[in-house]
Chains A and B, each alone.
Chain A
Amino acid sequence: MTHQPAGGGFGPDLAEVFGPSQQDGGPELVQLLTPEGERVHHPEFDLDFSAEQLRGFYRDMVLTRRIDVEATALQRHGELGIWAQLLGQEAAQIGAGRALRPQDFVFPTYREHGVAWCKGVDPLDLLGLFRGVDQGRWDPAENNFGLYTIVIGAQTLHATGYAMGMQRDGVVGTGDPDRDAAVIAHFGDGASSQGDVNEAFIFAASYNAPVVFFCQNNQWAISEPIERQTRIPLYQRALGFGFPGVRVDGNDVLATYAVTQAALQRARDGQGPTFVEAYTYRMGAHTTTDDPTRYRLSDDLERWKLKDPIARVEVYLRRNGLADDEFVAAVQQEADDLGARLREGCKALPDPSPLSIFDHVYSEMTEELEQQRAGFEAYLESFEGARA
């Protein structure tokens, strides 16, 4: 048997493509602000950011982190059944969220608390699902922010269909910035293995739908590392589906904003889908029920702590005289106030009535359900001190 060179006749050695270069995101990573807070430039995706915008990013990220920290604590106190933490992914979400226009529509997973914040969803409304008093209480049409989707990847198809609807509504490629709209579909590295996500890519490409596939590659799908999902950098998959893919430093809010904005504009202009891989790290657990010490090394976590998305912006703001102690303290105060409001508000969220089980199964209650409801009501009333 003759020795074959790596790759043989089948192109480059994939082990090399996916090898050491992937550490820290590899050479293709778009970055505008280094972990050390140094502003760097990029030939394609550079933008000028105003001081106000930069301070806004900082504030958004601090407040988003506080929502996450408070909700985690509320779960520990038994006030929430579970919470899906976003710690470490603040820049990816705020960068993507702030790149949206009001007419753009978001299809989130169950972890997009920062994007919800940008879209004006009251963070208190996010808690109901995790407390078990509802399954998402905000109106998707009000903020153009869909309900959290728990089945992994299912929402990417909804996003594509919604974008196809926008095409039919004539709000794509008209050149009117107040009219042209796009959809952003959020998902994670684990979801990239789902059939629905791959079908969404195919449908979006086939119809040239105005959708941005925004993947937060946080390196972990519960306990499974990215290597279990893919042997090629995720953003490179896009090419196989027929649209561009780009990998951005998901811990760099500037770069995430710039890349997402460009991708959204491409979609609004009628140039079709884009895949954005926001390269980041899940600093916390998958959810509050998870224990990452069982499957990953603390070394990794320590390495990523040095790339904290908030710290680098604070360094940049202070170093350039764009923010001072007073500003930072004011944001902290705002975060404290928000935290207090979430703590109080969460505990005050009422349990739904048992009879509400029957509401909204259909647009109008069927006779069958009316009968079941009446029977259950009579049963409940047969007890002393009935709840119903």
Chain B
Amino acid sequence: MSTEKITLAKGLNMGLRRAMEDDPKVLLMGEDVGKLGGVFRITDGLQKDFGEERVIDSPLAESGIVGTAVGLALRGYRPVVEIQFDGFVYPAYDQIVCQVAKMTFRSQGKSKMPMVIRIPFGGGIGAVEHHSESPEAQFAHTPGLKVVACSNPVDGYWMIQQAIACDDPVIFLEPKRQYHADKAELDDTATPEPLFTSRVVRRGTDVTVLAYGPTVKTAMKVAEAAAGEGKSIEVIDLRTLSPLDMGPVYESVRRTGRAVITHEAHVNLGMGAEISARITEECFYSLEAPVLRVGAFDTPYPPSRIEEDYLPDLDRVLDAVDRSLEF
């Protein structure tokens, strides 16, 4: 057994390395993933150790990356492609939605699409336009895709391996703001929870706060701050956005009677809307207040000097918690 303190970037890097060691069919492909190790260094050192045939620097064309990965998957490989930034996934949108998502269904299970599409997502890094977006709902809305978001280094390590082992295409969202932020202790001999499960990360009794990716950290701070005011917040890291794992959510909301969902994506038709609808359908008589959503405003991502006003932060989520309790 070995334990070490690692960042999310390191966890993902170690997870990719282990997946490549375990299965020679695993290939990495993307822009600058080779010598450079990716613009965020997630694939650092992998081309040196696994060679240019397995860690492939691609031409600068996202549809080409995903489209050729479809062919590689049909040939029996398990391609893991990196989209450099969330806002650059759109040139590949047609291939993802029309081809990747539908191949298993079209072929009635004869052709599988074991592909992982890694997307650094979310804001807060002071970037220019197109580098801070949260497109998860567009993929969760597409049948045939699975969508997950990791929030911490240990999950990054395990979830990337589980996504690679999955026979279905997985949109793998990585909160880029967290890449090099916090360290956590990894025990690489542990048995991880299944990939498509949500997890209660803090127990509480008054309000359930649901989060994923970058907002899990915010939700934990909210719980901490609320505790100082005598309010007990339960926090759930959703982890999987498609399929949703609602069991722990229903169980929690039936106890607390209150739910607040927070994500960096726009509120309108975002993940929060779907989750809110499901909670309302399943927990109607347990609810003490309407399910509230705290996300980005329904505007394009703003210039970075005001992005912290745009993103849901501690105070805005706390405000929603208060509104829920006061309802």
Contacts and interface: CB of A to CB of B under 8 A. Distances in A.
Nearest to A136: B106
A157 B95 CA distance: 9
A360 B95 contact: no
Interface of A is mostly: helix
A168 interface: yes
Interface in A159-202: 159-169, 183, 195-196, 199-200, 202
The 4 closest A-B pairs by CB, nearest first: A161-B71, A157-B67, A165-B75, A161-B68
A163 B71 CA distance: 8
Interface string B24-45: 0001000000000000000000
Contact of B98 (A140, A151, A368): A151
Contact of A362 (B59, B71, B79, B146): B146
Nearest to B98: A151
Contacts of B106: 135-136, 147
Interface in B83-125: 91, 94-95, 98-99, 104-112
A162 B76 CA distance: 9
B168 A164 contact: no
B63 interface: yes
Given A158-B71, A203-B58, A168 B77 contact: yes
Contacts of A168: 27, 53, 77
A200 B79 CA distance: 17
A359 B104 CA distance: 10
Contacts of B59: 199, 202-203, 206
Nearest to B247: A367
Interface in B50-89: 53, 58-59, 61, 63-64, 66-77, 79
Given A157-B95, A158-B70, A362 B104 contact: yes
Given A361-B144, A362-B144, A368-B243, A136 B107 contact: yes
Contacts of A367: 243
Interface of B is mostly: mixed
Interface string A329-355: 000000000000000000000000000
Given A362-B104, A366-B196, 7 more contacts: A135-B105, A160-B68, A165-B72, A168-B53, A206-B59, A361-B144, A363-B167
Nearest to A169: B75
Nearest to B143: A361
Interface of B: 27, 53, 58-59, 61, 63-64, 66-77, 79, 91, 94-95, 98-99, 104-112, 143-144, 146, 167-168, 196, 243-244
A319 interface: no
A203 B95 contact: no
A203 B68 contact: yes
B8 to A, nearest CB: 27
A183 B71 CA distance: 11
A369 B71 CA distance: 27
A88 interface: no
Nearest to A362: B168
Centre residue among A146, A156, A165 by max chain B CB count within 10 A: A165
Contacts of B167: 363
14 contacts: A135-B106, A140-B107, A140-B111, A156-B67, A157-B71, A158-B71, A159-B71, A161-B67, A161-B69, A167-B53, A203-B64, A359-B109, A363-B104, A368-B243
Nearest to B145: A362
A137 interface: yes
Contacts of A324: none
A134 interface: yes
Nearest to B62: A199
A139 interface: yes
A154 interface: yes
Interface string A118-148: 0000000000000000111101110000110
B75 A157 contact: no
Contacts of B111: 140-141, 147
Contact of B243 (A165, A166, A359, A366): A366
B104 A158 contact: no
Contacts of B144: 361-362
Contacts of A163: 71
Contacts of B63: 157, 195-196, 199
Contacts of B70: 157-158, 161
A196 B64 contact: yes
A359 B105 CA distance: 7
A141 B94 CA distance: 24
Centre residue among B63, B79, B167 by max chain A CB count within 10 A: B63
B71 A154 contact: no
Contacts of A136: 106-107
Nearest to A135: B106
Given A147-B111, A363-B109, A162 B72 contact: yes
Nearest to A183: B71
Contact of A165 (B66, B76, B108): B76
A147 B110 CA distance: 10
B61 A139 contact: no
Contacts of A167: 53
Contacts of A107: 71
Contacts of B110: 139-141
A139 B74 CA distance: 12
